[in-house]
Structure 1
Amino acid sequence: MAVLIVSLSTTVALALDPSEMLDDPVQEAQARELDHAMRCVVCQSESVASSNAQWAIDTRRVIREQVAAGKTNDEIIDFFVERYGEFVLMNPRPSGSNWLLWAAGPLMFLTALGVGIGYIRGRSKAPQPIQTGLSEDEAKRLREILDE
């Protein structure tokens, strides 16, 4: 287990070359935040921050160039979305055609909650079966069967 943890942490540590880092710690923090917000289009399941693919290296360089030029996070994200689409974002924006995907989870939860509450309330209000005693003929027949 320890070997796995060390190997994973080493992989992430090797992704950012010290020569890529900005001198200003505030700008570097902004760049790292953007590195984690962007998806590597080569790896597809990793952020740019943890990928060693050439595309990710180039993207980190472009991010740092734009941060050094004074651009905001939104401007830099828009730059990449314009070129690669929403797929480049690790967490796509809840706008446009994907708003339904963002709303589907909470809507399904609320629907299931409503159905569950309705089911439980319906069970408690269900009519109880009416228990009636045996008629005289039925009681007589039952005694006959039991006596046999």
Structure 2
Amino acid sequence: MIFKKAVTATPDIRMCFQKGLKALGGNSRKISLADNSKCEGSLDIDNCTRTLYPQSNRWDYCFCYRNEIYFVEVHTANTTEVSTVIRKLQWLKDWLNHQAPELNKLKASSRHPFYWIQSSKFNIPATSKQFRTVVQAGIKPIPALKLP
């Protein structure tokens, strides 16, 4: 259980490991895995780090599937929220580098590790500055995440 070991080796989140996609609660319905038995566990990063980083734009979740970690933000997908999600992504990358190096080592390499899953409809016009920003950041919102 490499994911669980990485979680317990990270002081900020040591006690937050959950089996399967349990940490995602109702948002787990937005994740579709070809083989659920290959999901090692999940973590609610936002709730686990809230008291440590109360003023930060914290990322929502991560889960381990086929020995790789995927990071998921379930958030409104409209133009006014683009800068918030970009700040959350930057916070996550900084946190992984400085506070969670064991998780960082396991982030997905077979495909993109970071996903913005829209909590409702998509409302970022393709002609907008915000759309160009999310595309450049590599974090364009998707309705759901399906992994083979």
Bin the TM-score by the shorter chain.
under 0.3
| Rg (Cα) greater in structure | 1
More helix as a share of residues: 1
Higher relative contact order (CA 8 A, sep 6+): 2
* TM-score normalised by structure 1 residue count: 0.24
* TM-score normalised by structure 2 residue count: 0.24
